[in-house]
Amino acid sequence: MTKPPIAGNRTGRKLGQKVKKGKLKASSRRWIERHINDPYVQRAKLEGYRARAAFKLLEIDEKHQILKGAHRIIDLGAAPGSWSQIAAKVTDSTDEDIRVAAIDFLEMAPLPGVKILQLDFLDPSAPQLLVDAVGGKPDLVMSDMAAPTTGHQKTDHLRTMHLCEVAAHFAVEVLQEGGHFLAKTFQGGTERDLLNMLKQNFRQVIHVKPGSSRAESVEMFLLAKHFKGRKVEPAAETAED
Protein backbone atom coordinates (compact mmCIF):
# COMPACT_ATOMS: atom_id res chain seq x y z
CA MET A 1 0.00 0.00 0.00
CA THR A 2 1.30 3.43 -0.90
CA LYS A 3 1.17 5.53 2.24
CA PRO A 4 1.70 9.27 2.46
CA PRO A 5 5.13 10.11 3.83
CA ILE A 6 5.40 10.99 7.47
CA ALA A 7 6.94 14.39 8.12
CA GLY A 8 9.99 13.77 10.19
CA ASN A 9 13.58 12.66 10.06
CA ARG A 10 13.57 9.38 8.10
CA THR A 11 15.93 11.09 5.69
CA GLY A 12 17.93 12.78 8.40
CA ARG A 13 16.72 16.19 7.25
CA LYS A 14 14.44 18.37 9.32
CA LEU A 15 11.39 19.90 7.71
CA GLY A 16 10.76 23.62 7.89
CA GLN A 17 14.17 24.67 6.61
CA LYS A 18 14.63 28.21 5.34
CA VAL A 19 16.79 29.38 2.46
CA LYS A 20 19.00 32.39 3.04
CA LYS A 21 17.95 35.43 1.06
CA GLY A 22 21.26 36.09 -0.68
CA LYS A 23 20.73 37.04 -4.33
CA LEU A 24 17.66 34.86 -4.87
CA LYS A 25 14.36 36.39 -5.83
CA ALA A 26 11.62 35.90 -3.25
CA SER A 27 9.66 33.61 -5.60
CA SER A 28 12.73 31.44 -6.26
CA ARG A 29 13.50 31.22 -2.56
CA ARG A 30 9.94 30.13 -1.78
CA TRP A 31 10.10 27.42 -4.47
CA ILE A 32 13.37 26.04 -3.11
CA GLU A 33 12.05 26.06 0.46
CA ARG A 34 8.90 24.22 -0.60
CA HIS A 35 10.97 21.68 -2.52
CA ILE A 36 13.50 20.85 0.17
CA ASN A 37 10.76 20.66 2.83
CA ASP A 38 8.44 18.47 0.72
CA PRO A 39 8.17 15.07 2.44
CA TYR A 40 7.54 13.37 -0.91
CA VAL A 41 10.84 14.77 -2.23
CA GLN A 42 12.60 13.40 0.81
CA ARG A 43 10.86 10.04 0.50
CA ALA A 44 11.82 9.80 -3.19
CA LYS A 45 15.48 10.21 -2.24
CA LEU A 46 15.14 7.63 0.52
CA GLU A 47 13.53 5.05 -1.78
CA GLY A 48 15.78 5.70 -4.77
CA TYR A 49 13.32 7.40 -7.12
CA ARG A 50 14.45 10.23 -9.33
CA ALA A 51 11.48 12.47 -8.54
CA ARG A 52 8.47 12.77 -6.23
CA ALA A 53 6.27 12.07 -9.30
CA ALA A 54 6.90 8.37 -8.66
CA PHE A 55 4.33 8.45 -5.87
CA LYS A 56 1.66 9.89 -8.18
CA LEU A 57 1.94 6.83 -10.41
CA LEU A 58 2.13 4.43 -7.46
CA GLU A 59 -0.99 5.94 -5.86
CA ILE A 60 -2.95 5.80 -9.09
CA ASP A 61 -1.88 2.19 -9.64
CA GLU A 62 -2.78 1.22 -6.08
CA LYS A 63 -6.39 2.13 -6.77
CA HIS A 64 -6.71 1.36 -10.47
CA GLN A 65 -4.21 -1.47 -11.10
CA ILE A 66 -2.91 -0.09 -14.38
CA LEU A 67 0.56 -1.63 -13.96
CA LYS A 68 -0.65 -5.12 -13.13
CA GLY A 69 0.29 -7.60 -15.82
CA ALA A 70 1.91 -4.95 -18.06
CA HIS A 71 4.55 -6.42 -20.39
CA ARG A 72 5.41 -3.30 -22.39
CA ILE A 73 5.13 0.35 -21.33
CA ILE A 74 5.75 3.65 -23.14
CA ASP A 75 6.54 6.73 -21.03
CA LEU A 76 6.00 10.14 -22.66
CA GLY A 77 7.61 13.24 -21.16
CA ALA A 78 9.66 10.90 -19.02
CA ALA A 79 12.45 13.08 -17.59
CA PRO A 80 13.93 12.69 -15.06
CA GLY A 81 12.67 9.11 -15.16
CA SER A 82 10.84 8.10 -11.97
CA TRP A 83 7.86 6.65 -13.86
CA SER A 84 10.24 4.71 -16.12
CA GLN A 85 11.98 3.32 -13.04
CA ILE A 86 8.68 1.86 -11.87
CA ALA A 87 7.80 0.64 -15.37
CA ALA A 88 11.09 -1.22 -15.75
CA LYS A 89 10.54 -2.96 -12.42
CA VAL A 90 6.96 -4.12 -13.05
CA THR A 91 7.73 -5.37 -16.59
CA ASP A 92 11.03 -7.04 -15.62
CA SER A 93 12.64 -5.04 -18.41
CA THR A 94 16.38 -5.48 -18.88
CA ASP A 95 18.96 -4.11 -21.27
CA GLU A 96 18.89 -7.48 -23.03
CA ASP A 97 15.07 -7.53 -23.22
CA ILE A 98 13.80 -3.94 -23.43
CA ARG A 99 10.14 -3.57 -22.50
CA VAL A 100 10.05 0.12 -21.56
CA ALA A 101 10.61 3.11 -23.86
CA ALA A 102 10.91 6.66 -22.55
CA ILE A 103 10.94 9.88 -24.53
CA ASP A 104 11.70 13.48 -23.60
CA PHE A 105 13.36 16.42 -25.33
CA LEU A 106 15.36 16.85 -22.10
CA GLU A 107 18.43 14.73 -21.48
CA MET A 108 17.92 11.76 -19.17
CA ALA A 109 20.56 9.72 -17.38
CA PRO A 110 20.50 6.06 -18.45
CA LEU A 111 18.16 3.65 -16.68
CA PRO A 112 18.57 -0.14 -16.67
CA GLY A 113 15.98 -1.78 -18.90
CA VAL A 114 14.76 1.49 -20.44
CA LYS A 115 15.28 2.65 -24.01
CA ILE A 116 15.59 6.43 -23.76
CA LEU A 117 14.88 8.66 -26.74
CA GLN A 118 15.99 12.28 -26.41
CA LEU A 119 13.47 13.62 -28.88
CA ASP A 120 10.39 15.80 -29.02
CA PHE A 121 7.33 13.54 -28.99
CA LEU A 122 5.80 15.78 -31.68
CA ASP A 123 8.60 14.76 -34.05
CA PRO A 124 6.99 12.67 -36.84
CA SER A 125 9.45 9.83 -36.29
CA ALA A 126 8.77 9.49 -32.55
CA PRO A 127 5.69 7.20 -32.53
CA GLN A 128 7.25 4.42 -34.61
CA LEU A 129 10.58 4.66 -32.77
CA LEU A 130 8.78 4.14 -29.45
CA VAL A 131 6.83 1.10 -30.65
CA ASP A 132 9.94 -0.40 -32.22
CA ALA A 133 11.87 0.15 -28.98
CA VAL A 134 9.52 -2.03 -26.92
CA GLY A 135 9.08 -4.60 -29.67
CA GLY A 136 5.31 -4.47 -30.03
CA LYS A 137 2.07 -3.05 -28.73
CA PRO A 138 2.32 -1.60 -25.22
CA ASP A 139 -0.08 -2.43 -22.40
CA LEU A 140 0.22 1.08 -20.97
CA VAL A 141 0.93 4.49 -22.47
CA MET A 142 1.57 7.07 -19.77
CA SER A 143 2.31 10.75 -20.21
CA ASP A 144 3.54 13.33 -17.75
CA MET A 145 4.18 15.80 -20.57
CA ALA A 146 3.75 19.50 -19.97
CA ALA A 147 4.67 22.28 -22.37
CA PRO A 148 7.50 24.64 -21.40
CA THR A 149 5.90 27.60 -19.66
CA THR A 150 5.67 30.98 -21.32
CA GLY A 151 4.33 32.83 -18.30
CA HIS A 152 0.97 33.32 -19.97
CA GLN A 153 -1.42 31.02 -18.11
CA LYS A 154 -3.95 30.46 -20.88
CA THR A 155 -1.27 29.80 -23.49
CA ASP A 156 0.55 27.34 -21.22
CA HIS A 157 -2.71 25.57 -20.49
CA LEU A 158 -3.64 25.18 -24.16
CA ARG A 159 -0.19 23.92 -25.11
CA THR A 160 -0.17 21.24 -22.42
CA MET A 161 -3.71 20.17 -23.31
CA HIS A 162 -2.58 19.79 -26.91
CA LEU A 163 0.14 17.39 -25.75
CA CYS A 164 -2.46 15.41 -23.82
CA GLU A 165 -4.60 15.14 -26.93
CA VAL A 166 -1.70 14.03 -29.13
CA ALA A 167 -0.71 11.43 -26.52
CA ALA A 168 -4.28 10.12 -26.42
CA HIS A 169 -4.45 9.63 -30.18
CA PHE A 170 -1.06 7.90 -30.07
CA ALA A 171 -2.35 5.54 -27.38
CA VAL A 172 -5.39 4.61 -29.46
CA GLU A 173 -3.10 3.84 -32.40
CA VAL A 174 -0.63 1.63 -30.57
CA LEU A 175 -2.16 0.08 -27.43
CA GLN A 176 -2.73 -3.59 -26.92
CA GLU A 177 -6.39 -4.48 -26.48
CA GLY A 178 -7.24 -4.17 -22.78
CA GLY A 179 -4.44 -1.66 -22.23
CA HIS A 180 -4.59 1.67 -20.42
CA PHE A 181 -3.75 5.32 -21.02
CA LEU A 182 -2.72 7.82 -18.34
CA ALA A 183 -1.91 11.48 -18.99
CA LYS A 184 -1.44 14.75 -17.19
CA THR A 185 -4.22 17.25 -17.69
CA PHE A 186 -5.62 20.22 -15.78
CA GLN A 187 -8.71 20.74 -13.66
CA GLY A 188 -11.62 21.61 -15.92
CA GLY A 189 -9.38 21.61 -18.95
CA THR A 190 -10.05 18.37 -20.80
CA GLU A 191 -11.79 19.06 -24.09
CA ARG A 192 -15.14 17.42 -24.66
CA ASP A 193 -14.06 16.05 -28.05
CA LEU A 194 -11.08 14.33 -26.44
CA LEU A 195 -13.23 12.80 -23.71
CA ASN A 196 -15.73 11.57 -26.28
CA MET A 197 -12.97 10.01 -28.36
CA LEU A 198 -11.57 8.20 -25.32
CA LYS A 199 -15.01 7.00 -24.22
CA GLN A 200 -15.52 5.50 -27.66
CA ASN A 201 -12.24 3.58 -27.39
CA PHE A 202 -11.99 2.67 -23.68
CA ARG A 203 -14.40 1.04 -21.27
CA GLN A 204 -13.82 3.60 -18.51
CA VAL A 205 -12.58 7.21 -18.57
CA ILE A 206 -12.04 9.15 -15.35
CA HIS A 207 -10.06 12.02 -13.84
CA VAL A 208 -7.88 11.34 -10.80
CA LYS A 209 -5.83 13.53 -8.47
CA PRO A 210 -3.44 11.52 -6.30
CA GLY A 211 -2.66 12.71 -2.80
CA SER A 212 0.98 13.29 -3.72
CA SER A 213 -0.07 15.92 -6.27
CA ARG A 214 0.37 19.24 -4.51
CA ALA A 215 -2.91 20.61 -3.22
CA GLU A 216 -2.34 24.01 -4.81
CA SER A 217 -1.54 22.48 -8.20
CA VAL A 218 -4.23 22.45 -10.90
CA GLU A 219 -2.83 19.25 -12.38
CA MET A 220 -4.96 16.15 -12.60
CA PHE A 221 -4.56 12.91 -14.50
CA LEU A 222 -6.81 11.59 -17.21
CA LEU A 223 -7.11 7.82 -17.00
CA ALA A 224 -8.63 5.69 -19.74
CA LYS A 225 -8.89 2.01 -18.85
CA HIS A 226 -9.41 -1.19 -20.84
CA PHE A 227 -8.82 -0.27 -24.46
CA LYS A 228 -11.48 -1.84 -26.66
CA GLY A 229 -9.12 -2.48 -29.57
CA ARG A 230 -8.86 -0.97 -32.99
CA LYS A 231 -11.71 -1.60 -35.37
CA VAL A 232 -10.62 -2.95 -38.71
CA GLU A 233 -12.00 -0.82 -41.48
CA PRO A 234 -13.66 -2.88 -44.24
CA ALA A 235 -11.78 -2.87 -47.49
CA ALA A 236 -13.16 -0.50 -50.07
CA GLU A 237 -14.96 -2.25 -52.87
CA THR A 238 -13.29 -2.04 -56.23
CA ALA A 239 -15.54 -0.75 -58.95
CA GLU A 240 -15.96 -3.20 -61.77
CA ASP A 241 -14.97 -2.15 -65.27
What amino acid positions are annotated as catalytic residues?
A: 184
Measured CA to CA, the distance from residue 111 to residue 94 in angstroms comes to 10
Sequence-distant (6+) residues with CB within 8 A of 86 are: 49, 54, 57, 58, 67
Angle at 102 between CA 144 and CA 202, to 5 degrees: 60
Angle value at C-alpha 72, between 70 and 74, nearest 5 degrees? 115
Interatomic CA distance for residues 89 and 85, integer angstroms: 6
Q: How many CB atoms lie within 10 A of CB 102?
A: 27
